[in-house]
Amino acid sequence: MKNLNQTIIDVRTPGEFQGGHVEGSINIPVNRILDHLEELKHLPQPLILCCASGSRSNLATLFLRNAGISCENGGNWKEISYEFQTN
């Protein structure tokens, strides 16, 4: 089980995120992740990135690591050891 103090970033589209997500996670689509670097640098790290399968979160992990942000690919959002909510 992951530390509850970690920040979870869901890199799916807003529509996917609205269909269900990890409670307390932040939605920043992978195609917008670089637009949020300054914001992400100030969040508790390491960041845990997730998506539907782990592919987009892997790409976002590479982007953020190259920018010096400590992060991990959490893979599928449903497999992260947290409660999730649906809207």
Q: Is residue 71 part of a domain?
A: yes
Q: Could you report the per-residue pLDDT of 36-78, keeping only the tens digit for each?
A: 999 999 999 999 999 999 999 999 999 999 999 999 999 999 9
Q: Is residue 85 part of a domain?
A: no
**Bridge partners, residue 9, by sequence:** 26, 49
Q: Is residue 76 part of a domain?
A: yes
What is the count of structural domains for the chain?
1
| pLDDT, mean over the chain | 89
Q: What is the CATH number of the domain that holds 31?
A: 3.40.250.10
At residue 6 the predicted structure's pLDDT band, cuts being 50, 70 and 90, is: confident
SS3 annotation, the chain:
CCCCCCCEEECCCHHHHHCCEECCCEECCHHHHHHHHHHHHCCCCCEEEEECCCHHHHHHHHHHHHCCCCEEEEEEHHHCCCCEECC
Structural domain span for residue 47: 8-80
Q: Is residue 86 part of a domain?
A: no
User: What's the average model confidence in pLDDT over 2-15?
Assistant: 83
pLDDT on residue 80: 81
Task: Please give the model's pTM, rounded to 2 decimal places.
Answer: 0.88
Q: Is residue 38 part of a domain?
A: yes
Q: Is residue 56 part of a domain?
A: yes
